Amino acid sequence: MTTLAHVGSDHSPLRRIIQLDAVAVFVSSTAALVGAAPIEAATGIPATLLQLLGVVFLAYGGLLAFVTTQPSISRSTGWTLMSVNFAWVALSIAALAFGWLPLTPVGFWVVVAQALLVDLIGVAQLVVLWRSR
Protein backbone atom coordinates (compact mmCIF):
# COMPACT_ATOMS: atom_id res chain seq x y z
CA MET A 1 0.00 0.00 0.00
CA THR A 2 1.33 3.41 -0.95
CA THR A 3 1.06 6.24 1.53
CA LEU A 4 1.53 9.98 1.16
CA ALA A 5 4.81 9.73 3.04
CA HIS A 6 6.02 7.15 0.52
CA VAL A 7 5.20 9.41 -2.42
CA GLY A 8 7.25 12.22 -0.95
CA SER A 9 9.67 10.41 1.35
CA ASP A 10 13.24 11.69 1.72
CA HIS A 11 14.59 9.78 -1.27
CA SER A 12 11.43 9.46 -3.34
CA PRO A 13 11.53 9.97 -7.10
CA LEU A 14 8.92 12.74 -6.77
CA ARG A 15 11.10 14.68 -4.34
CA ARG A 16 14.12 14.27 -6.64
CA ILE A 17 12.16 15.43 -9.68
CA ILE A 18 10.88 18.50 -7.82
CA GLN A 19 14.46 19.24 -6.73
CA LEU A 20 15.57 19.00 -10.37
CA ASP A 21 12.70 21.29 -11.34
CA ALA A 22 13.77 23.81 -8.68
CA VAL A 23 17.37 23.82 -9.93
CA ALA A 24 16.26 24.28 -13.55
CA VAL A 25 13.92 27.11 -12.55
CA PHE A 26 16.63 28.85 -10.47
CA VAL A 27 19.18 28.59 -13.29
CA SER A 28 16.82 29.89 -15.97
CA SER A 29 15.39 32.67 -13.81
CA THR A 30 18.86 33.82 -12.79
CA ALA A 31 19.97 33.80 -16.43
CA ALA A 32 16.88 35.81 -17.40
CA LEU A 33 17.55 38.39 -14.69
CA VAL A 34 21.30 38.70 -15.20
CA GLY A 35 21.48 38.35 -18.98
CA ALA A 36 18.22 39.85 -20.20
CA ALA A 37 19.82 42.18 -22.78
CA PRO A 38 22.10 39.62 -24.46
CA ILE A 39 19.34 36.99 -24.35
CA GLU A 40 16.98 39.45 -26.03
CA ALA A 41 19.57 40.15 -28.74
CA ALA A 42 20.02 36.45 -29.43
CA THR A 43 16.42 35.26 -29.09
CA GLY A 44 14.17 38.24 -29.71
CA ILE A 45 12.41 37.71 -26.37
CA PRO A 46 11.97 41.21 -24.90
CA ALA A 47 14.29 41.95 -21.97
CA THR A 48 11.42 43.32 -19.90
CA LEU A 49 9.52 40.05 -20.31
CA LEU A 50 12.65 38.07 -19.42
CA GLN A 51 13.12 40.14 -16.26
CA LEU A 52 9.47 39.78 -15.26
CA LEU A 53 9.59 36.03 -15.82
CA GLY A 54 12.91 35.90 -13.97
CA VAL A 55 11.35 37.45 -10.87
CA VAL A 56 8.20 35.29 -11.03
CA PHE A 57 10.15 32.09 -11.56
CA LEU A 58 12.71 32.93 -8.90
CA ALA A 59 9.80 33.00 -6.44
CA TYR A 60 8.39 29.78 -7.96
CA GLY A 61 11.80 28.12 -7.62
CA GLY A 62 11.77 29.11 -3.96
CA LEU A 63 8.38 27.47 -3.57
CA LEU A 64 9.66 24.30 -5.23
CA ALA A 65 12.71 24.27 -2.96
CA PHE A 66 10.45 24.77 0.08
CA VAL A 67 8.24 21.84 -0.98
CA THR A 68 11.28 19.56 -1.10
CA THR A 69 12.16 20.42 2.51
CA GLN A 70 8.85 19.14 3.85
CA PRO A 71 8.73 15.74 5.61
CA SER A 72 6.28 14.45 3.01
CA ILE A 73 4.92 15.67 -0.31
CA SER A 74 1.23 15.08 -0.84
CA ARG A 75 -0.10 13.68 -4.07
CA SER A 76 -2.17 16.84 -4.57
CA THR A 77 0.98 18.97 -4.36
CA GLY A 78 2.66 16.69 -6.89
CA TRP A 79 -0.31 16.91 -9.26
CA THR A 80 -0.42 20.69 -8.89
CA LEU A 81 3.28 21.13 -9.67
CA MET A 82 2.98 18.75 -12.62
CA SER A 83 0.01 20.78 -13.91
CA VAL A 84 2.02 24.01 -13.67
CA ASN A 85 4.73 22.42 -15.82
CA PHE A 86 2.23 21.27 -18.45
CA ALA A 87 0.57 24.72 -18.43
CA TRP A 88 3.97 26.29 -19.15
CA VAL A 89 4.49 23.89 -22.05
CA ALA A 90 1.04 24.77 -23.43
CA LEU A 91 1.82 28.51 -23.17
CA SER A 92 5.15 27.96 -24.91
CA ILE A 93 3.45 26.12 -27.78
CA ALA A 94 0.80 28.85 -28.01
CA ALA A 95 3.49 31.54 -28.09
CA LEU A 96 5.13 29.76 -31.01
CA ALA A 97 1.90 28.97 -32.85
CA PHE A 98 0.37 32.44 -32.51
CA GLY A 99 3.57 34.46 -32.86
CA TRP A 100 3.21 36.19 -29.51
CA LEU A 101 6.94 36.92 -29.38
CA PRO A 102 9.26 38.50 -31.98
CA LEU A 103 11.53 35.46 -31.96
CA THR A 104 14.69 35.05 -33.95
CA PRO A 105 15.39 31.55 -35.32
CA VAL A 106 17.59 30.97 -32.25
CA GLY A 107 14.74 32.20 -30.04
CA PHE A 108 12.33 29.77 -31.67
CA TRP A 109 14.61 26.83 -30.83
CA VAL A 110 15.29 28.13 -27.32
CA VAL A 111 11.54 28.17 -26.64
CA VAL A 112 11.21 24.67 -28.13
CA ALA A 113 14.13 23.35 -26.05
CA GLN A 114 12.90 24.78 -22.76
CA ALA A 115 9.36 23.52 -23.45
CA LEU A 116 10.75 20.03 -24.09
CA LEU A 117 12.76 20.12 -20.85
CA VAL A 118 9.76 21.30 -18.83
CA ASP A 119 7.61 18.67 -20.53
CA LEU A 120 10.11 15.93 -19.59
CA ILE A 121 9.99 17.07 -15.97
CA GLY A 122 6.18 17.08 -16.07
CA VAL A 123 6.05 13.62 -17.63
CA ALA A 124 8.47 12.29 -15.00
CA GLN A 125 6.19 13.72 -12.30
CA LEU A 126 3.16 12.16 -13.99
CA VAL A 127 4.80 8.72 -14.16
CA VAL A 128 5.81 8.82 -10.49
CA LEU A 129 2.39 10.00 -9.38
CA TRP A 130 0.63 7.45 -11.55
CA ARG A 131 2.75 4.59 -10.23
CA SER A 132 2.24 5.66 -6.62
CA ARG A 133 -1.55 5.25 -6.80
pLDDT per residue, tens digit, the chain (133 aa), is 344 444 556 669 999 999 999 999 999 999 999 999 999 999 999 999 999 999 999 999 999 999 999 999 999 999 999 999 999 999 999 999 999 999 999 999 999 999 999 999 999 999 999 998 8
Residue 65 CB neighbour total at 10 angstroms: 16
For the chain, the domain total comes to: 1
Residue 99 structural domain: 4-131
pLDDT reported for residue 98: 98
pLDDT reported for residue 3: 44
pLDDT reported for residue 28: 97
What is the distance between the alpha carbons of residues 17 and 34, in angstroms, rounded to a whole number? 26
Residue 39 · residue 32 · CB < 8 Å = yes
SS3 132: coil
Could you tell me the pTM of the whole model?
0.90
How many alpha carbons fall within 13 Å on the CB side of residue 60?
Answer: 19
Span 5-42, pLDDT tens digits: 445 566 699 999 999 999 999 999 999 999 999 999 99
Residue 104 · residue 43 · CB < 8 Å = yes
pLDDT reported for residue 133: 80
pLDDT reported for residue 1: 39
